[in-house]
Structure 1
Amino acid sequence: MPEGPVVVGTDGSAGAARAVLWAAQEAALRHQPLHIVCAVDLDLAERLSAETARRVREVARSLLGEAAAAASRRAPGLAISTEVGREPAADSLLRAAASTAPQAPSATAGPVTIVVGSRGLGGFSTLLLGSVGLTAAGQAKCPVVVVRGTEQPPRGVVVVGVRDEGDDEVVRFAGETARRRKVSLRLLSTWTYLQYVGSMMPLADVVRVALETEAAASTRMLASVQEKFPDLEVTEEVVRVPSPAGELVAASLRADLVVLGARTPAHHIGPALGRVTHAVLQHAHCPVAVVPHG
């Protein structure tokens, strides 16, 4: 199923500028429109004078114009719309994604994707902070891409962290992205085994084999992924590491995108991001996509 439109936040910062360019390229590859949001918190604006509030909105519209022009240069012919968000940044992006998304996925448009920069401006002009990406990734019902690092030449690979077969939606998103960008897909499963267990229990080898087998979700999913994406080069790897997050951050040095899942347990309240996803979002060297599921 094709992906849907792309919504990106801007605040005029360098991080937001990279996010806009990434989002423009992604929207063009999807043959879908791009919607750019610049948030102005009305709770703050209402405490300002009418003249100051008017100037704040003018600045927001100016930033949107600059972002739209940059997106057009990156992807000529791309359909672009803009919006001055009337809520805090994360809320504005989530609402824009909900209103931009198709009423139901179709043959030509699937779920919307939100794109944000990893850091925004500080001080009074803050529109996108690091916390905005984390909040959006934890609360969105659609994929969220946090554009980290500096713009680099393509590395030719999308890396997806796989925990078990429940990550099928995450792998599909990664596969579709790799297919559009004509790069390879790497399924990566990581597991941790305490070194000192062997000195404490005679069945350490049995435990090790059981843990490794359970962790090898990428191996078990390889055949089905190759069947879904027959024209895509797909590799898989099971890695024993002291830190799964550290391995994924290291993998981001050689990737165009790292894709992770965000599971929402039953009766879950609040952000759904686990420790690994949170750490990768904070330290990755390339854009990171968080795909909600489960």
Structure 2
Amino acid sequence: MISRVTHQTVQRSTLANLQANLSTMASLQSQMSSGKKVNVPSDDPAAASDLLRLRGEQRVSTQYARNAADAGSWLQTVDTAITSSLASLRQARDLAVRGGNGALGQTSLNALADEVNSVRDAILSQANTTYVGRSVFAGTSDAGVAFGDDYAYTGTGTGVERRVSSTTTVRVDGDGAAVFGTGDGSVFALLDELSTTLRSGGDATAHVTAIDSRIESMLGELAGVGARHKNVLEKQQGLASQEVDMTARISGIEDIDLAEVILELQSQEVAYQGALGAAAKVLQPTLLDFLR
């Protein structure tokens, strides 16, 4: 049995094919203009699902990277403050040793005492170092300074932490009580005692052992800060590598191969022009088309 093909059948078939060709060209042009293979979920539901998951992971990773950068800045500030305080305290130790020289007159001892007071003020300033308006030695306290004029410690026992991965948090502040001591047992009170001894003509070297003990405490805290800072830097490197890998994975899913798309679009244009030419020959107008 021979199937009957009418003029209307050919017309509908041709128009459907032309429409499909135009739809493909529109999709390719959309890809070229956006540079993406997936512009809406219907373009590729599976790829769209993967992209949503990867972008979610990327946002989390980006936040961890911000936390790590902030942690690094905190720890760098703490490290600098303790290092400067150590240098000042070593200077005070040298002054104590010099003050033990029995040949010095009271005028010289008073001058050494003035230097000790300057060192104390410098260390107190370092102890009240802030980062973005928060004291780096006062824990979670909202006090403006870690140590007041009476050397009382205003900090809390709770440290400031930053989460740098799903399983890792890092303390980013310094323990002011451990670094500088508190109250009458603080390094500031110790230097006041040294100054008083110098002005009274006493034996300044009697304070050297206490100064050495405080130096050891500072060195211990500095080592802890250095270890945490190293951990943060390693996390930053890992997060940076993870960001590059994730960006490459996202690009592999959604970015187009420009040369391939251009070639395909040109092929579709040639096919479309050819289809239009063929349709013009097959679908010739009839007298009835003119009479309508």
TM interval, shorter chain, is under 0.3
Q: By percentage of residues, which structure has more strand?
A: 1
* Superposition TM-score, scaled by structure 2 size: 0.22
* Superposition TM-score, scaled by structure 1 size: 0.22
Higher relative contact order (CA 8 A, sep 6+): 2
